[in-house]
Amino acid sequence: MNTDEKIYDVCIVGAGFSGLVLAIKLARAGLLVCLCDLNRIVGRKILSTGNGRCNFTNSRMSKDYFYSNSDLSFITDNHQEIRNFFKELGVFDRDFDGYYYPYTNQAKTIREALEKEVDSLNIDLYLDNRVTDVDYNNVFTVTTSRTVIKAKKVCVASGGLSAATLGSSKVGYKLANKFKIPTTKLAPSLVGLKSNDICLKDLAGVRAVGNVTYKDHSCEGEIQFNKDGISGYPVMCISRFVGFDELDKALSDIRIDFIPYLTNEQLKEEIKNRFSKNQNQSILSSLVGFCNEKAIEQVVSLSRIYGDTLVSKLDDEDIENLVYNFKCFIVSINGTKGFDSSQVTAGGVDLSGIYTDTMEAMNQKGLYFIGEVLDVDGICGGYNLTWAYTSATIAANDLIKVMK
Q: HSE, CB side, 13 Å, CA atoms: give it for residue 160.
A: 31
- From the list 16-24, 65-73, 278-286, 301-309, the region that binds ligand FAD by CB under 6 A is 16-24
Whether the CB-CB separation of 191 and 250 falls below 8 Å is answered with: no
| 168 lies in the binding site for ligand FAD (CB under 6 A) | yes
Amino acid at 104: T
User: Residue 110's CB: how many other CB atoms inside 10 A?
Assistant: 27
Q: How far is the CB of 47 from ligand FAD (least distance, A)?
A: 9
Out of 12, 25, 32, 55, the only residue in the binding site for ligand FAD (CB under 6 A) is: 55
| Separation of alpha carbons 31 and 201, rounded Å | 59
User: Residue 90's CB: how many other CB atoms inside 10 A?
Assistant: 11
Amino acid at 169: S
| 213 lies in the binding site for ligand FAD (CB under 6 A) | no
For the chain, the distance separating the N- and C-terminal CA atoms, rounded to the nearest angstrom, is 29
C-beta closer to ligand FAD: residue 65 or 329: 65
| Separation of alpha carbons 253 and 195, rounded Å | 10
Out of 171, 199, 256, 296, the only residue in the binding site for ligand FAD (CB under 6 A) is: 171
Out of 45, 240, 268, 327, the only residue in the binding site for ligand FAD (CB under 6 A) is: 45
C-beta closer to ligand FAD: residue 115 or 257: 115
Out of 68, 109, 162, 183, the only residue in the binding site for ligand FAD (CB under 6 A) is: 162
Whether the CB-CB separation of 366 and 360 falls below 8 Å is answered with: yes
Strand pairing report for 7-13 and 148-156? parallel
- From the list 36-44, 176-184, 256-264, 318-326, the region that binds ligand FAD by CB under 6 A is 36-44
Burial 285-307 (b: 16+ CB within 10 A, else e): ebbeebbbebbbbbbbebbebee
Out of 382, 390, 396, 399, the only residue in the binding site for ligand FAD (CB under 6 A) is: 382
Q: How far is CA 149 from CA 98, 140, 226, 306, in A?
A: 42, 8, 47, 71
For 30, which DSSP code?
A: T
C-beta closer to ligand FAD: residue 199 or 232: 232
Nearest to 125 by CA among 49, 30, 39: 39
SS3 190: coil
C-beta closer to ligand FAD: residue 80 or 332: 80
Which residue's Cβ has the minimum distance to ligand FAD?
16
| 35 lies in the binding site for ligand FAD (CB under 6 A) | no
Out of 66, 154, 159, 259, the only residue in the binding site for ligand FAD (CB under 6 A) is: 159
Across the beta sheet with 229-231, what order do the strands follow? 329-331, 254-257, 207-214, 217-226, 229-231, 193-194, 335-336
Out of 9, 19, 230, 290, the only residue in the binding site for ligand FAD (CB under 6 A) is: 19
Nearest to 26 by CA among 287, 279, 370: 370
| 114 lies in the binding site for ligand FAD (CB under 6 A) | no
| 371 lies in the binding site for ligand FAD (CB under 6 A) | yes
User: Residue 147's CB: how many other CB atoms inside 10 A?
Assistant: 13
| 79 lies in the binding site for ligand FAD (CB under 6 A) | no
| 309 lies in the binding site for ligand FAD (CB under 6 A) | no
- From the list 25-33, 40-48, 236-244, 293-301, the region that binds ligand FAD by CB under 6 A is 40-48
SS3 279: coil
- From the list 133-141, 165-173, 271-279, 281-289, the region that binds ligand FAD by CB under 6 A is 165-173
| 231 lies in the binding site for ligand FAD (CB under 6 A) | no
| 399 lies in the binding site for ligand FAD (CB under 6 A) | no
| 344 lies in the binding site for ligand FAD (CB under 6 A) | yes
Q: According to the 3-state scheme, what is the secondary structure of 301-312?
A: HHCCCCCCCEHH
C-beta closer to ligand FAD: residue 19 or 102: 19
| 163 lies in the binding site for ligand FAD (CB under 6 A) | yes
Residue ranges binding ligand FAD (CB under 6 A): 13-19, 36-39, 44-45, 48-50, 54-55, 130-131, 157-159, 162-163, 166-169, 171, 343-344, 371-372, 382-385, 388
